[in-house]
Structure 1
C-alpha cells in the first residue's frame, strides 16, 4: 500500500464564495482568432496577494483509496503552504517556494528537503513552482506567449493544441468562453506512455476573482493510473497568512530510490 507520505508528495506536485458555475453547457460559441483566445486567457489570470482555502482531496490508484483534508495557503509567486489531516489528525505539512520543496509527515517521522528538479525526477515529469501554482488556479501551465498553438472549437470550448511536431510532448488546452478559464489541460508524452489531464469541473467567485471549485487530476504512466479529486472550500483572499514550518530534529530524511 502506498504510504500517506508519498501520497502527499504527489499532491505537492500537484471574502466568501458566491455563485458557482457548474456543469455549464456552451452553445453558439463565437469564433475567435487563436491569438485572441490566448490573450483573453492570460488577461483572466487571478490577481491576488494571498489566498487561503480548505480542500477535500480524494486519491485513488489500483491499490488504495484515500481521503484527506488539506489546508492551502498561498502567497502568490512566492510560497505555497499545505497542511494535511486525516479524520482531523495532523498527518503532513509542506512548504513550497520557487527554489525549494520541503515536507514532513508525522506518522513515520520522515521528511523531504529538496527542490523541483529532484521531485520532477522522482515523478518522471517536469514541473516548477509557477506551473504547480497555475495548475491549482485553473490557468495554463504552458507558456502561451512564446509557443505556437493551433486553435479550433470543440463542444463549445476553445481548443488550443501545441503544433510543434518535433516536441517530445503534446499540450492541449480547453478554454471556457464565459470566463476564459480552463475547462481542461492535458500533457501527452507518447514515447514514454505518459498522460496527464487536469479537469476543472466548476468555478467559484471570491473577492471578485474566479477560482476553481471542483477539479480532477488524472495521471497515466503506461498501465498505472492515479486519480485525484479536489474540492475547494471556504476560499478567502488577501488575508494575513501564518505559515508555520519547522522540520522536527528527530525526523529521518526520505531517501529516493
Structure 2
C-alpha cells in the first residue's frame, strides 16, 4: 500500500512555477476574475477564474485502471489550499486518516499512517510516479479550474456551438524548457470545462474535465466534479467535491511521528 497510496495522493496534485505576493481582500472585494488570453493584438479571449485567498472542500475520489476497467482504490479527501503557498490533502477512509500530503512551491511532504513511513523532498517524486513534469502551480491551477501561470499565451481560437476552443501546439513555460501541446475548452461562462495537455518531450498526456458547476458564494462558480485521465499510465481519477468554502482558513499541519521511517524511491 506504500506506493499506491502515494500514487493516489500524487494524482490528486498537479502544478506550474510562479509565486505571487498575497493580497488581503475583504469579502466584498472577492470576485470572479478573468485572465485575458491574447493570440494577437486584435484578438482577446478571457478565462474566468475564482478569486480567493483560501479554498477548502471535502471530496470523494476513486482511481480506475482504464486498460482493464478495474477499480484500484477509493478514498475520502479533505483539501485545503492557501493560494500560491500551500496545498494540504488528508486522505481517509471510514473516518480513519490513512495519510496526508502537504505541498509548498518547493517541497513535497507525505505521511503514510498505514505503514508508518514518510517522505520529504522535491517534486521529482511526483514526476517519477506520474511520468509528467508537475509542480505546485500547475497542480493548484488544475485543482482550482484555472489556466496555468507563467506560460506564454499565444492561443489560436475557434468556436464550437457555445464553446470556445483555445489551442497552442507548442506552449512555452517562461522559466524552464517545459513545452506543452495544450487545448482548453471554455463553456459559455468562460469557465474551463476541458484541459487537454501533452508534454512535448515525453508525449505523456493528461486530460482534465470539469462538470457540475455551482455557485459557492454569490456569483462565484466552481465545478463539483473533476475527472483526470492519464492516458499513458492508463489511469482515470474521479473527484466529487462536497461543501466547498472560500476564504475560511483550514488546517495545514504536518508533523512526523518519531518512529516513522523515511521512504526510499
TM-score, structure 1 normalization? 0.81
Match of 2:99 among 82, 92, 95: 92
Aligned-pair distance for 1:168? Answer: 5.5
Partner of 2:115: 108
Greater helix proportion: 1
Match of 1:45 among 44, 49, 54: 49
The answer to whether the 8 A contact 2:57-2:244 is kept is yes
Tell me how far apart the structure 2 counterparts of residues 171 and 240 of structure 1 sit (CA, whole Å). Answer: 33
Q: What SS does the corresponding residue of 2:254 show, helix, strand or coil?
A: coil
Q: Which string of whole-angstrom CA distances, capped at 9 and with x for unpartnered residues, describes residues 93-150 of structure 1?
A: 1111111110111111111111224422442211221111110011123656x23211
Aligned-pair distance for 1:49? Answer: 1.4
Q: Structure 1 residue 251 and structure 2 residue 260: aligned?
A: yes
Partner of 2:44: 36
The answer to whether the 8 A contact 2:38-2:154 is kept is no
Partner of 1:19: none
Q: What SS does the corresponding residue of 2:44 show, helix, strand or coil?
A: helix
* Mapping 1:1-257, distance limit 5 Å: 3-13=4-14, 35-37=43-45, 40-41=46-47, 44-61=48-65, 62=68, 64-141=71-148, 143=150, 146-164=152-170, 169-178=180-189, 180-189=190-199, 192-208=202-218, 209-221=220-232, 224-256=233-265
Tell me how far apart the structure 2 counterparts of residues 150 and 65 of structure 1 sit (CA, whole Å). Answer: 38
Aligned-pair distance for 1:191? Answer: 6.6
Partner of 2:32: none
The answer to whether the 8 A contact 2:131-2:204 is kept is no
The answer to whether the 8 A contact 1:12-1:94 is kept is no
Q: Which string of whole-angstrom CA distances, capped at 9 and with x for unpartnered residues, describes residues 180-228 of structure 1?
A: 110100112477452110000221211232222111000011xx41000
Q: What SS does the corresponding residue of 1:95 show, helix, strand or coil?
A: strand
Aligned residues: 231
CA distance change for structure 1 residues 139 and 122 in 2, over 3 Å: closer, same or farther? same
Tell me how far apart the structure 2 counterparts of residues 68 and 171 of structure 1 sit (CA, whole Å). Answer: 30
CA RMSD of aligned residues (A): 2.5
CA distance change for structure 1 residues 142 and 99 in 2, over 3 Å: closer, same or farther? closer
Q: Structure 1: which 5+ runs fail to align?
A: 15-31
Q: Structure 2: which 5+ runs fail to align?
A: 16-36, 173-177
